[in-house]
C-alpha cells in the first residue's frame, strides 16, 4: 500500500472522526491483528506525557514522520485528558466502533478467543478512490446521486432519513446560491430530487442496505422504516468488553427497493429538517398521529450521532461502483474508436449483463451469451433507440476491435462481451501511449513488434521495424532500462560459465504483466507527487484562503443584515450596510484575487491529473486481476 494512501485516510479520519480515531487506525495499520489489550497498551496513561503526530501539514508525507509519536508541538489527544484507564478503554471502544462503521476493520478470533482487529485495506482503497467514484456517479446519474454517494462514502453507513436530509439540505443551499433559485418549486424540489436519486441508486445497486453496527433501538412497530435485520451468529461475540459484542447485522435483501412507507417517512423528515424556508412539493402525507415516534436517546456514541435513525442503514456498494467504472472505461474506449452509436450498443449489452448479475449470475472474464433480440429490446428500452439502425454493422465493428465475440449467426447472432480481452487490449494501448509520450513513435514500433513476435535479436528487430541500427539499438536499450522490454541471454559457446557479449544471442521480448506492475508503481508515485503538490499549494496559500473565507463570511453576514434592514424598511441602515459591504468586498486586493484564481486553476488541474492517474491505476489493476486468474 502506497504511503500516500495511509496519509490520505489518516487525514480523512482525523477531520471527520477525530484525531483519536485516526491514531487508533494508524496503530492498527502498523500492527495488524491487534487485540484490544495491545491497543489499550498503546494509548493507556503513561508515566510521562507524550504527544502524538501533528494534525497539520501533509506536505512531506513519509512513513518516518508517521511513525513519530513524539513531536515538539501538537494538540494533545483526548487520551491525555483522561484520568483513568477505564475512560481510555471507552474512548478506544468508541474509536473502534467508528472504524467498524466505515468498514475499515476486519475482525478475527484468536485461539484464546480474543478478538483481533486488522485494517480492511480494500475499503481504504475504496475511500481513496472516492473522488473517482463521485465523478463516475455524477456522469451517469447526476449531481443529486453524487451527493448521496458522497455522504455514504464519507460517513460509512447512514440511515435513510439522515442521508436524505443532508443531501436535500445541500441541494437547497446550492439552489439558493445559484441563479435557478427563482425556478418553480416543483421543478427544483431538493427533497424529491434527493429521494429519487436515492431510489435510483438503490435500484442500480450503487448503494445497499446494511445492518447497524450497534444493536437496534426499540422503535415503534408502525415506524415503516424497516427492521434491523437478523442476528448473524449469536454465539460469535460474548465478551462485553469487545466491540464485537455489538452484533453486526446482515440484511437478507440488501437491494430491496424503498417502500412507500420509507419514501413518505423520508419526505416528512426532509420537510421537518429543511423548515418552511424551502418550498417542497406536496407529497401525500399521513396524519400527524401516524408519524413514527422518535427513538429514545442513549449514551452510545453511534446513537448520539443519529438519534432519530432507524436500525437499518445504507452504505455505498464498492463492488458495483468498480463494475460500473469498468463498463464506463469500455464504453468510452468504444466511443473514441468506433463512434457514439457503437458505444451505445456496447452500453446496452453491458446493461443486460449488469441485470443478469443482479439476478445472481457471476461476473467473469467473459459475459454470458447475449441474443440479438435481447440487445434490440434493451436498445428500445433505453434512450439509445436510434442505435438500432445499423446495429449489425456496429456489432461487427465491436467484434473486429475485440470488445465482443460473435458466438453464432442463428437468429441474428449471439454475442459475448470479452472483458478480459478488451482490458488486455486497452492496457497494451495505454502502455504504448506512455512509451510514445516518453520515447517517441519509433519506440512504439519496437514495443509492438516485440509484443507480436517475441524473442527477436536486435538485427531481426531492425528489419521488422525499419529503423537504422544505431537508432534501434538506442531505443531498445532505453526500453530495456525503463522496463518496457526484457532480454533473455542465449549462449552460443559451449562454455556457459563465462558468458561474453560476443558469444551470446540476446533475445528481446515483452512481458506485459511485468511492465504493467512497474507502471502501476510509477502511477502511484506520480499520484503521490500531484497530491503533495496540491496540498503544498494549499498550505502555502493558507493565509490567503483563510482571508477569503473570512471575507466571504463577512459578506454573508452583511447580506443577511441588509435583507433584514430592507424587510424592516430601514433604508438608512440598509444604505450604510451596503456601503460597508462594498468596502468589505475590497478587502481582497486584485493581486490576491489573481493569486486565488491561479491557485484554483492549479488545484483543478492537479485534481484532474490525480483522477486520470487513478483511472489508469484502475485499468492496470483490472488487467493484473485478469492476468492472475489466467495464471
Partner 1 sequence: MSTATVKPDPGDIQTRLLNLAGQLPAGINQAALRSHLSDLPMDRIIQCINQLTQSGKLEVLQTANRELLWRLRDASADRRLDGLDTKEVMVYEQLRAFGNKGASAQQLQSRSAMPQREIGKCLNSLEAKKLVKTVRPVGHAKKKIFMLFELEPDASLQAGTFFSGEGFDQEFVDVLCQQCTLYLRRKAEAAATPAATTSASATLEEVQQFIGQSRVSTVALSLDDIRRVLRALTLEGVVETRPGPYAGAGSSCLYRLARSQLPASGDFGAVRVPCVSCPVAPDCRIGGEISPIGCVYLTDWAKGQF
| Interacting residues toward partner 1 by CB under 8 A | 59-62, 329, 332-333, 335-339, 393, 397, 400, 426, 429-430, 432-434, 436-438, 441-442, 444-445, 448-449, 452, 462, 464-469, 471, 522-523, 525-526, 528-530, 532-533, 536, 598, 601-602, 605-606, 609, 612-613, 615-616
Q: How far is the CB of 404 from partner 1 (least distance, A)?
A: 16
Q: Where are the beta strands (DSSP E) in 153-298?
A: 207-210, 230-231, 249-250
Q: How far is the CB of 530 from partner 1 (least distance, A)?
A: 7
- 151 and 157 Cβ atoms separated by less than 8 Å: no
Q: What long-range pairs does 111-117 form, CB within 8 A, spacing at least 24?
A: 113/239, 114/35, 114/36, 114/37, 115/35, 115/36, 115/237, 115/239, 115/242, 115/243, 115/244, 116/33, 116/34, 116/35, 117/28, 117/33, 117/34, 117/35, 117/36, 117/39
Q: How far is the CB of 609 from partner 1 (least distance, A)?
A: 5
Q: How far is the CB of 412 from partner 1 (least distance, A)?
A: 20
| Beta carbon nearer to partner 1, 197 or 330 | 330
Q: How far is the CB of 119 from partner 1 (least distance, A)?
A: 24
- 189 and 343 Cβ atoms separated by less than 8 Å: no
Which residues are CB-neighbours of 382 under 8 A, at least 6 positions away? 344, 347, 348, 351
| Beta carbon nearer to partner 1, 337 or 371 | 337
State the Cα–Cα distance between residues 209 and 324, nearest whole angstrom. 19
b (16+ CB within 10 A) / e for 47-62: eeeeebbeeeebeebe
DSSP letters of 196-233?
HHHHHHHHTTSEEEE--SSPPP---GGG-S----EES-
Which residues are CB-neighbours of 351 under 8 A, at least 6 positions away? 378, 382
| Beta carbon nearer to partner 1, 186 or 608 | 608
| Beta carbon nearer to partner 1, 522 or 561 | 522
Q: How far is the CB of 160 from partner 1 (least distance, A)?
A: 38
| Beta carbon nearer to partner 1, 452 or 495 | 452
- 292 and 272 Cβ atoms separated by less than 8 Å: no
| Beta carbon nearer to partner 1, 231 or 399 | 399
C-alpha cell at 14: 482525523
Q: How far is the CB of 204 from partner 1 (least distance, A)?
A: 24
Q: How far is the CB of 573 from partner 1 (least distance, A)?
A: 45
Q: CA distances (Å), 313 to each of 157, 210, 214, 516, in order?
A: 6, 5, 11, 39
| Beta carbon nearer to partner 1, 98 or 398 | 398
C-alpha cell at 56: 497539520
| Beta carbon nearer to partner 1, 280 or 434 | 434
- 270 and 193 Cβ atoms separated by less than 8 Å: no
| Beta carbon nearer to partner 1, 212 or 616 | 616
DSSP letters of 418-453?
BHHHHHHHHHHHHHHHHHHHHH-HHHHHHHHHHHHS
| Beta carbon nearer to partner 1, 238 or 400 | 400
Q: What long-range pairs does 85-88 form, CB within 8 A, spacing at least 24?
A: 85/40, 85/44, 85/45, 88/40, 88/43, 88/44, 88/45
Q: How far is the CB of 325 from partner 1 (least distance, A)?
A: 13
| Beta carbon nearer to partner 1, 35 or 454 | 454
Q: How far is the CB of 515 from partner 1 (least distance, A)?
A: 14
Nearest to 519 by CA among 442, 628, 627, 624: 624
Q: How far is the CB of 431 from partner 1 (least distance, A)?
A: 10
Q: How far is the CB of 435 from partner 1 (least distance, A)?
A: 10
Q: CA distances (Å), 182 to each of 175, 176, 247, 311, in order?
A: 9, 9, 49, 38
Nearest to 624 by CA among 512, 547, 543: 512
| Beta carbon nearer to partner 1, 158 or 333 | 333
Amino acid at each position: 500500500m502506497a504511503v500516500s494512501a495511509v496519509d490520505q485516510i489518516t487525514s480523512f479520519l482525523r477531520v471527520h472522526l477525530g484525531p483519536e480515531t485516526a491514531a487508533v487506525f494508524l496503530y492498527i495499520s502498523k500492527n495488524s491483528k491487534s487485540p484490544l489489550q495491545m491497543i489499550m497498551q498503546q494509548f493507556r496513561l503513561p508515566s510521562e506525557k507524550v504527544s502524538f503526530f501533528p494534525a497539520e501539514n501533509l506536505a512531506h508525507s513519509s512513513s518516518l514522520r508517521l511513525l513519530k509519536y513524539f513531536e515538539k508541538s501538537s494538540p494533545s489527544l483526548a487520551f491525555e485528558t483522561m484520568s483513568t484507564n477505564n475512560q481510555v478503554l471507552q474512548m478506544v471502544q468508541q474509536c473502534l466502533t467508528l472504524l467498524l462503521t466505515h468498514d475499515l476493520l476486519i475482525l478475527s478470533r484468536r485461539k484464546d478467543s480474543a478478538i483481533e482487529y486488522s485494517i480492511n485495506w480494500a475499503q481504504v482503497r475504496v475511500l481513496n478512490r472516492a473522488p473517482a467514484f463521485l465523478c463516475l456517479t455524477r456522469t451517469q446519474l447526476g449531481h443529486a446521486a453524487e451527493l448521496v454517494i458522497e455522504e455514504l462514502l464519507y460517513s460509512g453507513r447512514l440511515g435513510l432519513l439522515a442521508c436524505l436530509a443532508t443531501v436535500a439540505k445541500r441541494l437547497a443551499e446550492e439552489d439558493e446560491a445559484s441563479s435557478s433559485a427563482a425556478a418553480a418549486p416543483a421543478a427544483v424540489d431538493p427533497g424529491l430530487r434527493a429521494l429519487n436519486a436515492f431510489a435510483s441508486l438503490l435500484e442500480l445497486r450503487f448503494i445497499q442496505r446494511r445492518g447497524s453496527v450497534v444493536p437496534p433501538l426499540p422503535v415503534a412497530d408502525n415506524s415503516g422504516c424497516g427492521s434491523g435485520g437478523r442476528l448473524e451468529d449469536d454465539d460469535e461475540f460474548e465478551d462485553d468488553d469487545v466491540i464485537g459484542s455489538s452484533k453486526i447485522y446482515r440484511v437478507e435483501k440488501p437491494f430491496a427497493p424503498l417502500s412507500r412507507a420509507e419514501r413518505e417517512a423520508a419526505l416528512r423528515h426532509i420537510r421537518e429538517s429543511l423548515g418552511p424556508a424551502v418550498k417542497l412539493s406536496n407529497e401525500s402525507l399521513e396524519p400527524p398521529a401516524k408519524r413514527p415516534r422518535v427513538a429514545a436517546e442513549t449514551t452510545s456514541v453511534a446513537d448520539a450521532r443519529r438519534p432519530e435513525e432507524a436500525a437499518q442503514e445504507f452504505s455505498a456498494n464498492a463492488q458495483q461502483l468498480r463494475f460500473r467504472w469498468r463498463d464506463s472505461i469500455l464504453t468510452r474506449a468504444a466511443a473514441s474508436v468506433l463512434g457514439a452509436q457503437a458505444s451505445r450498443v456496447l452500453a446496452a449489452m453491458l446493461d443486460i449483463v449488469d441485470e443478469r448479475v443482479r439476478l445472481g449470475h457471476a461476473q467473469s472474464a467473459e459475459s454470458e451469451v447475449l441474443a440479438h433480440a435481447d440487445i434490440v429490446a434493451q436498445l428500445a428500452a433505453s434512450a439509445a433507440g436510434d442505435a438500432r439502425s445499423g446495429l449489425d454493422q456496429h456489432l461487427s465493428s465491436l467484434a473486429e476491435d475485440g470488445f465482443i465475440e460473435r458466438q453464432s449467426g442463428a437468429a441474428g447472432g449471439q454475442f459475448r462481451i470479452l472483458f478480459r480481452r478488451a482490458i488486455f487490449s486497452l492496457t497494451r494501448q495505454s502502455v504504448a501511449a506512455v512509451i510514445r509520450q516518453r520515447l517517441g513513435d519509433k519506440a512504439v514500433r519496437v514495443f509492438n513488434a516485440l509484443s507480436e513476435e517475441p524473442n527477436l535479436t536486435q538485427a531481426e528487430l531492425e528489419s521488422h521495424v525499419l529503423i537504422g541500427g544505431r537508432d534501434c539499438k538506442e531505443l531498445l536499450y532505453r526500453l530495456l532500462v525503463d522496463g518496457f522490454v526484457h532480454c533473455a541471454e542465449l549462449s552460443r559457446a559451449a562454455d556457459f560459465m563465462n558468458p561474453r557479449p560476443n558469444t551470446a544471442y540476446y533475445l528481446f521480448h515483452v512481458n506485459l504483466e511485468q511492465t504493467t506492475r512497474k507502471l502501476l508503481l510509477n502511477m502511484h508515485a506520480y499520484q503521490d507527487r500531484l497530491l503533495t503538490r496540491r496540498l503544498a499549494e494549499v498550505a502555502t496559500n493558507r493565509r490567503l484562503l483563510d482571508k477569503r473565507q473570512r471575507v466571504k463570511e463577512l459578506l454573508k453576514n452583511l447580506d443577511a443584515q441588509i435583507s433584514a434592514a430592507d424587510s424592516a424598511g430601514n433604508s438608512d441602515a440598509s444604505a450604510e450596510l451596503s456601503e460597508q459591504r462594498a468596502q468589505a468586498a475590497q478587502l481582497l486586493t486584485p493581486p490576491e484575487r489573481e493569486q486565488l484564481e491561479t491557485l484554483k486553476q492549479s488545484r483543478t488541474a492537479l485534481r484532474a491529473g490525480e483522477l486520470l492517474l487513478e483511472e489508469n491505476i484502475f485499468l492496470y489493476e483490472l488487467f493484473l486481476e485478469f492476468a492472475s486468474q489466467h495464471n
